[in-house]
Structure 1
Amino acid sequence: MVKLTQATRFRWLLSVGWTVGAGLALAQPAPIPGLPLPLNDLSAFAPTTPNWRIAGGVRADLNKPNTLTTDNGAGVLVSLPLPANQASKLADQQMNAVSRLQHGDMDLELDFMIAPKSNSGVYLQGRYEIQLFDSWDIRSPRTIDNGSIYERWDEKRAEGQNGFEGHPARQNASRAPGLWQHLKVSFQAPRFSANSAGGVPQKTENARMVRVELNGVVIHEDVELTGPTRGSIFSDEKPTGPLLLQGDHGAVAFRNIRYINYDKPRPELMNLKYAVYKGKYEKEAEYSRTAPESEGTTGVLSANVSRIPNEFLIRYTGTLRVVEPGEYRFNLGVPGGGGMLKINNQPVVASGSSTGKVTLAKGDLPFELFYSKFVDWVKPNLGLAVSGPGIREYTVTDATSGTNDEVDPIIIDAPTNTVLRSFMDMPGVDSPGEKTPASANRQRRTLRVVHAVSVGSPEQVHYTYDLDKGALLQVWRGSFLDATPMWHDRGDGSSKPMGMVQRLGAPVLFLSKLSSPQASWIADTTGSGYRPKGYVLDEVDRPTFRYISYGSMVDDKIRVLPNGQGVQREVSIATPASDLYARLASGTTISPMENGLYLIDGQQYLRIDDGTGGKPAIREASNGRQELIVPVKGKVIYSILF
């Protein structure tokens, strides 16, 4: 018999139909594009009060609290404060928008805009609130701040203790008021028994916020909700309820509301039997020539039925009862070995893949699963996850994960001004000068910046600078850096921002000589004489970057604005060349606003604080985007508010 090396064994198992993998990679229960809640009119909601309207666009003025300005059209749901005499005639709860949609378990995804100093909320089932708030200048979120799960309330409790069980967001991942923010929620409704006491169903499991993301940052995971939060329109709990958008506390707008209702019964594994075979099994049929080491019945799939640490095979057989017909997806984790899943006598997960999908009819279907364990340095484990029509992905094994290689994260905080050099990956960003069709999937593109410097601050506003181009790459609010990819094991040299990131486009030179304001911006350093000169630290360890460009020494100083509202950049050129321009921003759309602000793609404000060289101009770039440029004589100062 030929002795197989480890690499040969992996290839052999793949060739005979096992799926080989390190573990189960459960999909996060985050919303996927589902059904839209129509916003052409207000018909998706119960009759609303006059504060609600449909608009085509909306914008804010940072100097006007609790105010939004709307444009004609459709697609945006807006609540605007009513005059005091009109509002006083309405009860607060009447001013909310309550959906006709009723939901239990649900994934929800939406954009929202909060006016300066405004306040709103999203209530799942009309009972459990995720707070929406202007928390732009907050460092440590409270239960009233943006993204927090609001507290419950009991008037019978002692003074000062009426509020309880609120859950602040893990970090402040908020954008500035007047900018569009994105919320994703995976919600699990409370469970009730089929039997009732005195005609009232008994709650058997509390509601949960399975996962909440604000602007791409996870701020809650698996939070149990013992009852309705303060301000809910119901005091009781039920399996279903409406979506409620709060409209009685200030100006707020919503768009792109999408949801998935998980209201179908899960498939059920029945009559499970197992047999454990000792040895190395490289082909599916080999086990049949060996007597099982042990066998029996069980109620759950598990690797624990084998007491053999390595070189064994577990074969499960049983029945999968399918109540809801349709397409199902299976995710199989087999750490340290290989495996296969068959349903209705057909392979579902096989041929080297850890996932598979199949259309299942309603009824009782034969179920068969194999787990062959042969890698001795990996602990045995088994994971199987299922999702289907109206069914959120869930595990049918006793393991929440099929991996034994969890890594303790290496987190870099910034209690003081902190400077860290690393590679920095920029998802969705093209290489400078590259032309990408608008239809391309930009999320799959990643640019690696190899001479990046990330600067953290105790104000919890941070940025990354590219030494190769003298470019400001990104700014973010919240926690600083995850350096696990750089320092764990051999590492790959990269780190990742942990907060709400605002990326500023592909890195290009900040300064360029242009023959005319319409001339193309140079894509690389050719002809500029660009040479980086590192950086110098001030008395509190804040860097000022230095480089030579067009024969001049340039100082590039970036500082956090008061109250953490953004960053201010001051670029000074010792002896500026003629026809020198600074490129302040690029985006799909750049719109001038009041008070000298520019709105970039609805995601950031830019304010020119000192542009002594001349008047800024918005121009069309060669890649179909827009650029904001300004002539430079000796210094330019501008701020990014986000």
Structure 2
Amino acid sequence: MQNSFVKKIILSALLSGVFFYGYAQEQPGKVPEPMPMKPQMTEFWEPEPKVVTPGAVPSNLVVPPPSDAIVLFDGKDLSKWKGKDGEAKWRVSDGVFTVNKGTGDIETKQTFEDYQLHIEWRIPADIQGESQARGNSGIFMQGIYELQVLDSYNNRTYSNGQAGSIYKQTRPLVNAMRKPGEWQVYDVIYTAPRFKEDGSLFSPAYITVMHNGVLIQNHFEIKGDTPYIGLPKYTKHGKGPIKLQDHGDPSKPISFRNIWLREL
């Protein structure tokens, strides 16, 4: 996985080098402008993660949180979340909340550093669309580092953009998706980055993810933030929230339930 990330950087450098050479030939004596990056430069389609069928679980089964957990959604309201204008405006019904398209991302009022996170999400059974336009959302660690949410059940997209990827950085080890309409479960172990006083990186963030009980990220070293265009980088920060993305996907919206966190 890291080799794939390095290959992307080398490819970008080679492409830039070709541009620089051509520019210098046409404009002798002038300093060449850097080549503008495009989204496709940080997308890779191969290798495609192997499909692993997770064990069957009754859809109404909700495992209660441990005694020391911070319950972020108890099925009743979004009182522990906020939106872009203050109030979290996603819809709550029958113990579940659903993306309210156009109202923006929501994030926890409380901020965190290192933690264990449990979160369950569901793609509508009658989902339409393909590739990235198929139930797209994201879970952002500390509001910055994205764990991708997407319908990747018989839905091909770039490997470092499918469900369970650290978006635009690494693919999941395997594809452990259940069918649309069934609940998906992420269990995350996250270690926040640390920074020196001068703002430089002291130690990177790390993430381990289980998807439906299957290991899909194994202590992966996060390379930086989550740009759609360009390469990730770190900027000094402190504690941050759990953020859920309103992607503005034209397909039917995603739902969430049973969200809790244990600080480590």
Shorter-chain-normalised TM-score: which range? 0.5 to 0.7
2:186 partner SS: strand
Residue 103 in structure 1 maps to residue 112 in structure 2: yes
2:182 to 179, 182, 185: 179
1:37 partner SS: strand
Indicate how the Cα distance of structure 1 residues 51 and 178 shifts in structure 2: closer, same or farther if over 3 A, else same. Answer: farther
2-side partners of 1:44 and 1:228: how far apart? 24
Q: How far apart are residue 207 of structure 1 and its match?
A: 0.8
Residue 225 in structure 1 maps to residue 222 in structure 2: yes
Gaps of 5+ in 2: 1-64, 128-133
2:200 partner SS: strand
2-side partners of 1:47 and 1:245: how far apart? 10
Residue 260 in structure 1 maps to residue 259 in structure 2: no
1:248 partner SS: coil
Indicate how the Cα distance of structure 1 residues 202 and 48 shifts in structure 2: closer, same or farther if over 3 A, else same. Answer: closer
State, as a whole percentage, how many aligned pairs show the same letter: 31
Contact 2:83 2:104 in 1 (8 A): no
1-side partners of 2:157 and 2:138: how far apart? 19
Contact 2:73 2:257 in 1 (8 A): no
Match of 2:210 in 1: 213
RMSD: 2.4
Match of 1:134 in 2: 151
Match of 2:80 in 1: 44
2-side partners of 1:96 and 1:175: how far apart? 25
Q: How far apart are residue 80 of structure 1 and its match?
A: 3.4
Kindly report which structure 2 residues correspond to 1:604-619, keeping only aligned pairs within 5 A, or say none: none
Deviations 1:525-577 (A, max 9, x none): xxxxxxxxxxxxxxxxxxxxxxxxxxxxxxxxxxxxxxxxxxxxxxxxxxxxx
Kindly report which structure 2 residues correspond to 1:153-164, keeping only aligned pairs within 5 A, or say none: none
1:112 partner SS: strand
Aligned length: 180
Match of 2:8 in 1: none
Match of 1:79 in 2: 99
2-side partners of 1:237 and 1:95: how far apart? 25
Which structure shows the higher strand fraction?
1
Q: How far apart are residue 227 of structure 1 and its match?
A: 1.1
Match of 2:166 in 1: 149
Contact 1:109 1:184 in 2 (8 A): yes
Q: How far apart are residue 192 of structure 1 and its match?
A: 2.1
1-side partners of 2:166 and 2:223: how far apart? 12
Deviations 1:257-298 (A, max 9, x none): 010112xxxxxxxxxxxxxxxxxxxxxxxxxxxxxxxxxxxx
Q: How far apart are residue 100 of structure 1 and its match?
A: 0.6
**How high is the TM-score relative to the length of structure 1?**
0.27
Q: How far apart are residue 248 of structure 1 and its match?
A: 2.5
Indicate how the Cα distance of structure 1 residues 221 and 141 shifts in structure 2: closer, same or farther if over 3 A, else same. Answer: farther
Kindly report which structure 2 residues correspond to 1:542-621, keeping only aligned pairs within 5 A, or say none: none
2:161 partner SS: coil
Residue 244 in structure 1 maps to residue 243 in structure 2: yes
Q: How far apart are residue 110 of structure 1 and its match?
A: 1.2
Contact 1:141 1:170 in 2 (8 A): no
Q: How far apart are residue 219 of structure 1 and its match?
A: 0.4
Contact 2:177 2:212 in 1 (8 A): yes
Gaps of 5+ in 1: 1-31, 57-74, 82-86, 88-93, 152-165, 263-642
Match of 2:15 in 1: none
2-side partners of 1:43 and 1:235: how far apart? 31
Q: How far apart are residue 226 of structure 1 and its match?
A: 2.2
Deviations 1:452-494 (A, max 9, x none): xxxxxxxxxxxxxxxxxxxxxxxxxxxxxxxxxxxxxxxxxxx
Opposite residue 254 of structure 2, the aligned amino acid is V
Opposite residue 110 of structure 1, the aligned amino acid is I
Match of 2:121 in 1: 112
Match of 2:34 in 1: none
Deviations 1:335-375 (A, max 9, x none): xxxxxxxxxxxxxxxxxxxxxxxxxxxxxxxxxxxxxxxxx
Contact 2:72 2:108 in 1 (8 A): no
Greater CA radius of gyration, 1 or 2? 1
**How high is the TM-score relative to the length of structure 2?**
0.62
Contact 2:201 2:234 in 1 (8 A): no
Contact 2:200 2:236 in 1 (8 A): no
2-side partners of 1:108 and 1:76: how far apart? 17
2-side partners of 1:136 and 1:221: how far apart? 21
Q: How far apart are residue 237 of structure 1 and its match?
A: 3.7
Contact 2:153 2:180 in 1 (8 A): yes
Match of 2:138 in 1: 121
